[in-house]
């Protein structure tokens, strides 16, 4: 049988390697919150071919309407995305009229999102609450479901640690995506994050359930071997479900699903993969580490190094 658990510190290192860079980026650049959470406006417009005005002209146009923080980016399809502080519908109409006059072109609105500043803040705090409540509910459920196993609360705690790991991976990807592709944390990101939390637990439950079953069947086996045995037994299912089916569906969505869903699918893709990875390489090893109280050895190691 494959010995998965003996290299556990290697897996922890790999996880850190994925998590740390993105989190550092986020710490340096701040969370790339979208207008869903900060309030503000995003206006995407398309001009007739060849009549798209210069960026500076549009900025002036916004300034004339009293909006001094317009930022303009061109999209691949040739339309312009203009981000600014909150626009009322009246101001937006006057800006659009001015655009038509200045450019002499028809202006079609592809998308317009405008979120008032107060609502954005409330959404942000409510979203944080939603994530916290979801995590808590899931942990309570696991502890209850495993109440007959010795040290049931350890399973709950390990599920939280692995869940925090998955959330960190998702944020790390968001941080890297923000740098490379101008991604933003919006309501869809939040939806993806909550889904990752839900499915992360689903994976842990499958592995833990096998440990639960084996612990009554194979009482004499050492705990590490028992956990290792359970992981190997569920490995095929994890690979088949996650890699071959769910990830394939999401990959198809990310590749062919159009711009709107791209970021959402990539976040889900990485997050769900992380969920499977963490149940085998994070949650289960921590269970063993806890059983053996390995933290005592950490100090010994530093002593011998001295």
Give me the residues that bind other proteins (CB under 8 A), please.
Answer: 88-89, 93, 108-116, 118-119, 122-123, 126-127, 130, 133-134, 137-138, 141-142, 145, 187-188, 190-191, 194-195, 197-199, 201-203, 205-206, 209-210, 212-213, 233-234, 236-237, 240-241, 244-246, 248-253, 255-261, 264-265, 268
Least Å distance, CB 111 to other proteins, is 5
Closer Cβ to other proteins, 23 or 188, answer by number: 188
For other proteins, the closer CB: 54 or 255: 255
DSSP letter for 24, please: H
Nearest distance from C-beta of residue 126 to other proteins, angstroms: 6
In whole angstroms, the minimum distance from the beta carbon of 59 to other proteins comes to: 22
Specify the residue, 85 or 195, whose C-beta has the smaller distance to other proteins: 195
Do residues 163 and 135 lie in contact, with contact meaning Cβ atoms separated by under 8 Å? Answer: yes
Shortest reach from residue 129's CB to other proteins, in Å: 8
Backbone φ and ψ for 3, nearest 5 degrees, come out as -100, 100
Q: How far is CA 294 from CA 10, 299, 305, in A?
A: 15, 9, 17
Would you say 45 and 53 are in contact if contact means Cβ atoms under 8 Å apart? no
The conformation of residue 104, written as its DSSP 8-state character, comes to -
Q: Of the two residues 71 and 260, which places its CB atom closer to other proteins in the complex?
A: 260
The answer for residues whose C-beta is within 8 angstroms of residue 120's C-beta and 6 or more apart is: 35, 36, 37, 38, 39, 40
CA distance 115 to 187: 12
Nearer to other proteins, 60 or 79 (CB): 79
**Nearest residue to 125 via CA among 218, 59, 38:** 38
**CB-nearer residue toward other proteins: 29 or 97:** 97
In the complex with other proteins, the residue whose CB is nearer, 60 or 143, is 143
Instruction: Name the nearest CA neighbour of 197 among 139, 245, 257, 123.
Output: 139
CA distance 34 to 55: 22
Q: Least distance (Å) from other proteins to the CB of residue 237?
A: 5
174 with 19: CB under 8 angstroms?
A: no
Q: How far is the CB of 280 from other proteins (least distance, A)?
A: 15
Contact 291, 149 (CB under 8 A): no
Buried-state track 111-127, b at ≥16 Cβ within 10 A, e below 16: eeebbeeeebeebbeeb
Residue 17 beta carbon to other proteins: minimum distance, rounded to whole angstroms:
28
Provide the minimum distance between the beta carbon of 57 and other proteins in the complex, in angstroms, as a whole number: 22
User: Which residue's CB is nearer to other proteins, number 150 or number 258?
Assistant: 258
286 CB-near residues (< 8 Å, 6+ apart): 158, 161, 162
């Amino acid at each position: 049988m494959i010995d998965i658990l003996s290299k556990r510190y290697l897996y922890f290192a790999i996880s850190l390697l994925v998590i740390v860079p993105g989190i550092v980026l986020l710490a340096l650049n701040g969370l790339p919150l979208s207008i869903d959470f900060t309030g503000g406006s995003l206006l995407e417009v398309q001009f007739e071919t060849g009549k798209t005005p210069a960026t500076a002209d549009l900025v002036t146009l916004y300034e004339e309407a009293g909006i001094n923080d317009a930022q303009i980016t061109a999209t691949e399809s040739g339309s312009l995305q203009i981000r600014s502080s909150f626009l009322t519908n009246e101001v937006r109409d006057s800006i659009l009229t001015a655009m038509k006059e200045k450019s002499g072109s028809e202006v079609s609105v592809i998308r317009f999102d405008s979120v008032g500043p107060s609502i954005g803040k409330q959404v942000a705090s409510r979203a944080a609450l939603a994530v916290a409540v979801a995590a808590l509910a899931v942990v309570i459920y696991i502890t209850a479901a495993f109440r007959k196993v010795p040290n049931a609360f350890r399973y709950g705690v390990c599920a939280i640690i692995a869940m925090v790991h998955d959330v960190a991976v998702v944020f790390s990807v968001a941080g890297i995506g923000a740098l490379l592709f101008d991604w933003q944390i919006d309501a869809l990101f939040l939806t993806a994050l909550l889904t990752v939390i839900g499915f992360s637990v689903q994976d842990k439950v499958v592995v833990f359930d096998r440990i639960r079953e084996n612990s009554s069947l194979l009482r004499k086996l050492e705990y590490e071997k028992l956990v290792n045995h359970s992981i190997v037994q569920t490995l095929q299912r994890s690979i088949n479900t996650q890699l071959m089916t769910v990830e394939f569906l999401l990959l198809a969505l990310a590749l062919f699903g159009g711009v709107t869903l791209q970021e959402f699918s990539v976040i889900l893709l990485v997050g769900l993969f992380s969920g499977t990875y963490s149940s085998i390489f994070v949650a289960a090893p921590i269970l063993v580490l806890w059983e053996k109280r390995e933290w005592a050895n950490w100090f010994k190691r530093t002593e011998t190094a001295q």
